[in-house]
Chains A and B, each alone.
Chain A
Amino acid sequence: MIKKSIHFLLALALYGLLVFFIAYSYPGKENFDMTRLWPAGPEIFQSWLLTLYISIASLFFSMFTGFVLYLASVSKLPFFRYVGRIFDEIVFGSPLIVFIIAMYYFIAIPMGISNRLNVGILAFSLYMAPYMKSVLLGAMESIDANQYQAIQVLGFTKSQAYRYIIIPQILKVIFPPLIGNLTFIIKGSSLLSVIGVKELYFAIDRIQANLLLYVEGYLLMFITYLLMTIPLVALSRWIEKKVSA
């Protein structure tokens, strides 16, 4: 136990050295002052909340789009399977930033939709759909085929089987990758700034440009994003531990 904590402290010290190096090698270190960001606090906090909202909404909708894509992938009609597969290829082959720009400028604007926030969330939800589909597919495949036979011979109805046997098992499997996807969404939400959504990256970027506080701004970005992602990663590990127990 003691040994483990020593290793942890050593690892922390290594990162401490890195921070020390950056702080001392930074040419404008005499002017480094995080407190100058203080007046922009409310604006930053609001954008932080907006990022959280975007992330949770995108996670929610991407679960829905992912489920639709999953249904398409297991459809008996080849047409739906092809539609799904082509969509997968488009998403896997294109950077998120390009996808967001294309969704906004080539689809939403011509359709007369100009709400950047909603389009951003929709774009994100669509982009995440194939990833969510993979999570669902993995979860469904994690249930042994023999279990379906057991369900049959024990006489469970379909709804009972889903409620008491399949869904509880799927939930256990699905949570860790779902939280992994949420952290990806949180980080990726910064790209919605390219269509002018005033999320965390957009807000801090503007503030640091106005106040000429680039290093302080980026440092704040680091901290604020980590404040969202680290607890989620910890939660995911905790759930994984609970599930495997």
Chain B
Amino acid sequence: MKINLANINHSYNGKAILQDLSLQLDHAEAIAIIGPSGAGKSTLLRLMSKIEDPDSGDICINDIDVIHTEAKEYYKKVGFVFQSHNLFPHLTALRNITLVLEKVHNKTPEEAKQLAIDLLTQFELVEHMNKKPGQLSGGQAQRVSIIRSLAISPEVMFLDEPTSALDPILTREVLRTVLKLREKNMRFVIVTHELGFAKKAADYILFMEDGRIVEHGPVSILEKPQTESLKKFVEYVME
């Protein structure tokens, strides 16, 4: 996966969230963005996934000019998983997946159903496929939402703290699903607070603080931080 961020600035209500942020990565496959709350991690993810456009700067993901590409086209190539599952409550787990395959990705109902059932089987959710989100546990719903994103075979998946609304047991369930994505060679960028998980699932770490990328590099930077900020953060989280 290639990521090119150039001089990104972004603010909410006059408050700067990201400041002159730049980054060039050519060969990362699974990136974990870590850092304290309010560091701008989710904002950066939302900009990379075109949920919002930055105030200034350029974003390229896999040579796609994110800002100047039509949203509809971009979302055919990337998937996004929110903090909460955001499944459509009136549809079953299966229909949540097949609807997007049929209507946005022009699959036939049979193809869509087969693909969805295959994925639900692989992720051990097939027995819940006819349940509506309200009948699923938080972890199951989040896993269905991950499958919904995965089903479109995106070039990159963005996951915004997919476990933040879950208790520790359900968190483990969801993290196992994300690890499976890695086994399937899915490229993804995940915002997470789970450092242990980041070590296992990611091959590249971005550490953010106060709207800037303070340190980045292979996962080994978590063992040997170069900056005082990352060192403190790792110590604090591991405590």
A interface residues (Cβ-Cβ under 8 A, vs B): 144, 146-147, 149-150, 152-157, 160, 164-165, 168-169, 172
**Contact A156 B90, beta carbon cutoff 8 Å:** no
Of all chain A residues, the one with the shortest Cβ separation from B79 is: A153
Of all chain B residues, the one with the shortest Cβ separation from A169 is: B90
CA distance A202 to B71 in the complex (A): 60
Q: Is B99 an interface residue (CB 8 A)?
A: yes
- With contacts A146-B86, A160-B104 known, what are 12 further pairs, Cβ within 8 A? A146-B84, A147-B88, A150-B87, A150-B88, A153-B51, A155-B76, A156-B103, A156-B104, A160-B103, A164-B99, A165-B88, A172-B90
Of all chain A residues, the one with the shortest Cβ separation from B73 is: A155
> For residue A154, which residues in chain B have a CB less than 8 angstroms away from its CB?
75, 100, 104, 148
Q: Is B82 an interface residue (CB 8 A)?
A: yes
**Contact A155 B86, beta carbon cutoff 8 Å:** no
> For residue B88, which residues in chain A have a CB less than 8 angstroms away from its CB?
147, 150, 165, 169
Q: Is the interface of B mostly helix, strand, loop or mixed?
A: loop
> For residue B84, which residues in chain A have a CB less than 8 angstroms away from its CB?
146
**Contact A157 B82, beta carbon cutoff 8 Å:** no
3 tightest Cβ-Cβ pairs between the two chains A and B = A155-B75, A150-B86, A153-B80
Bitwise interface map of B from 64 to 108 toward A, beta carbon under 8 Å scored 1, else 0? 000000011001100110101011111000000001100110000
Residue among A144, A146, A155, A165 with most chain B CB within 10 A = A155
Q: Is B140 an interface residue (CB 8 A)?
A: no
* Residues of B in contact, count (CB < 8 Å): 20
Q: Is B49 an interface residue (CB 8 A)?
A: yes
Minimum CB–CB distance for B144 against chain A, Å: 12
Minimum CB–CB distance for B148 against chain A, Å: 7
> For residue A153, which residues in chain B have a CB less than 8 angstroms away from its CB?
49, 51, 75, 79-80
Given contacts A160-B103, A164-B103, contact A152 B86 (CB under 8 A): no
Minimum CB–CB distance for A220 against chain B, Å: 43
CA distance A27 to B75 in the complex (A): 78
Minimum CB–CB distance for B158 against chain A, Å: 9
**Contact A168 B90, beta carbon cutoff 8 Å:** yes
> For residue A169, which residues in chain B have a CB less than 8 angstroms away from its CB?
88-90
> For residue A144, which residues in chain B have a CB less than 8 angstroms away from its CB?
86
CA distance A168 to B96 in the complex (A): 14
Of all chain A residues, the one with the shortest Cβ separation from B103 is: A160
CA distance A120 to B87 in the complex (A): 45
**Contact A156 B100, beta carbon cutoff 8 Å:** yes
> For residue B80, which residues in chain A have a CB less than 8 angstroms away from its CB?
153
CA distance A152 to B71 in the complex (A): 8
Of all chain A residues, the one with the shortest Cβ separation from B49 is: A153
**Contact A155 B51, beta carbon cutoff 8 Å:** no
Residue among A146, A147, A154 with most chain B CB within 10 A = A154
Q: Can you name 29 A-B pairs with beta carbons within 8 Å?
A: A146-B82, A146-B84, A146-B86, A149-B82, A149-B86, A150-B86, A150-B87, A150-B88, A152-B71, A152-B75, A153-B49, A153-B75, A153-B79, A154-B75, A154-B148, A155-B71, A155-B72, A155-B75, A155-B76, A155-B100, A157-B72, A160-B103, A164-B103, A165-B88, A165-B90, A165-B99, A168-B90, A169-B89, A172-B90
Of all chain A residues, the one with the shortest Cβ separation from B80 is: A153
> For residue A150, which residues in chain B have a CB less than 8 angstroms away from its CB?
82, 86-88
CA distance A146 to B46 in the complex (A): 13
Minimum CB–CB distance for B93 against chain A, Å: 14
Of all chain B residues, the one with the shortest Cβ separation from A142 is: B89
Minimum CB–CB distance for B26 against chain A, Å: 25
Bitwise interface map of B from 23 to 60 toward A, beta carbon under 8 Å scored 1, else 0? 00000000000000000000000000101000000000
